[in-house]
Each structure stands twice: as C-alpha cells, then as structure tokens.
A and B are shown apart, each in its own frame.
Chain A
Amino acid sequence: KQEVTQIPAALSVPEGENLVLNCSFTDSAIYNLQWFRQDPGKGLTSLLLIQSSQREQTSGRLNASLDKSSGRSTLYIAASQPGDSATYLCAVREAAGNKLTFGGGTRVLVKP
C-alpha cells in the first residue's frame, strides 16, 4: 500500500526566504505526482504536476523535482511572500488506476 509522508509538518519563515518542502513515497510505481495548495477551509489548488518520466516542473517561483527511484519529491518556493502561507499537499497517483494518495501536508507560515 502506498504511503506518502511530508516533512516538515509545519514551517515558519521570514518573508523573502526560500521554502523547501519534502515529500516521500514508499512505492515507486507511480503515474505522476502532484503538489497542491490548500488555504484554511478551502478546497485544493493544483500547483504542479510531474509525470513519472519527468525530473522537474517549474511555474513562476515554484519548482518541483521528482526522483522516482528514491521515492522523493521536493517543492521549492523562491523568495517567499506572506501570500504563500497555506498548507501544501503532495499526492501520488498510482501507476495502475487513478487513485491519489495524499501526504499529511506541510503548513507554511511566511511572516512579513
């Protein structure tokens, strides 16, 4: 059974610092990995999706890497802003089928 772990569970940084969020998964037979943002009491916003054949994806200040063989993905957020404060979730889609397994999330607070 796939298990997804996110470390750290919470992170607080001053504005301007770079953020590094980690996601690990136990079964490397994945179809893709996706990073989401969730604001309190809200649904999910998709940030980046990395296919299993890709090593990284970039969108603006966000960069996500994927090392499928070691079961790891890292989300980098450059030059953090208070508006980046949210919970970040990674989710792994299994290779066979369409199920997503979510990590526990990392709660990020960017202090002005």
Chain B
Amino acid sequence: GAVVSQHPSWVICKSGTSVKIECRSLDFQATTMFWYRQFPKQSLMLMATSNEGSKATYEQGVEKDKFLINHASLTLSTLTVTSAHPEDSSFYICSAAGGPWETQYFGPGTRLLVL
C-alpha cells in the first residue's frame, strides 16, 4: 500500500516552454502533497505544500508564478514549470501524506532537462 506515482518520469523540453508533472496517490487519499526539487549531488529542498482544494504554500525563494501547483482532488497534484529555462533542470520529487500519522510517501521522481 501507500504507492505514489509521478508522470512523466523524465522530460526534455526547449527553453520557454511549460512542463506539467503529475503526482498521484494510487491507493490512498492525500489531503496534503509536497513538491521537492533536488539538484545533482544535493539533498531534497521543499518547494511547496499543496492542500486539496486550496492554494499551495510556497517556501521562501520559490516563485509561485513560475511553479504552478494544482491539487484538484485527493489523489492528484500537478506541478507546472512555466517558461522553463535551463536552470530549472532538476529532479522533481513529490510526496503524499497519508495514514493516521500523515506519513509522507514519496514518488519516484521526474527528471527535467531544459535545453
């Protein structure tokens, strides 16, 4: 149980385009989902907390107009990187909080390469 999927697993796009990444909790409902970014050989940095039916809460330094988050249902959150640039190239990982203790379960990650 407690499986989280992400789609796509990797994406290559041209600079200036927008990319949407989906995060799904497959066998449980998640009121809260989280989006992290990980640069090579670095740790995970929380970008934003996504609550179903409300606006996401962004961490300091994360541009909310650039990283659009939508959490329209209890099993799906999406992250859209708008007008992507090479510096946005990174590994994006989501997690979904579930169970009685709201434990975070992590997705397999999405690798984004912006050319």
Contacts and interface: CB of A to CB of B under 8 A. Distances in A.
Interface of A: 36, 41-44, 46, 49, 89, 91, 93, 98-105, 107
A43 B43 contact: no
Interface of B: 6, 32, 34, 41-46, 49, 91, 93, 95, 97, 102-109, 111
A105 B103 contact: no
B84 to A, nearest CB: 20
B60 to A, nearest CB: 10
Q: Is the interface of B mostly helix, strand, loop or mixed?
A: strand
A103 B45 CA distance: 10
Q: Is the interface of A mostly helix, strand, loop or mixed?
A: strand
A49 B44 contact: no
Contacts of A102: 43-45
A98 B44 contact: no
Given A41-B111, A43-B93, A43-B109, A99 B42 contact: no
A42 B109 contact: yes
Nearest to A107: B41
Nearest to A104: B43
A98 B43 contact: no
A37 B7 CA distance: 21
Contact of A105 (B34, B43, B104): B43
Nearest to B2: A46
A46 B102 CA distance: 15
Contacts of B109: 41-43
B93 A99 contact: no
A103 B111 contact: no
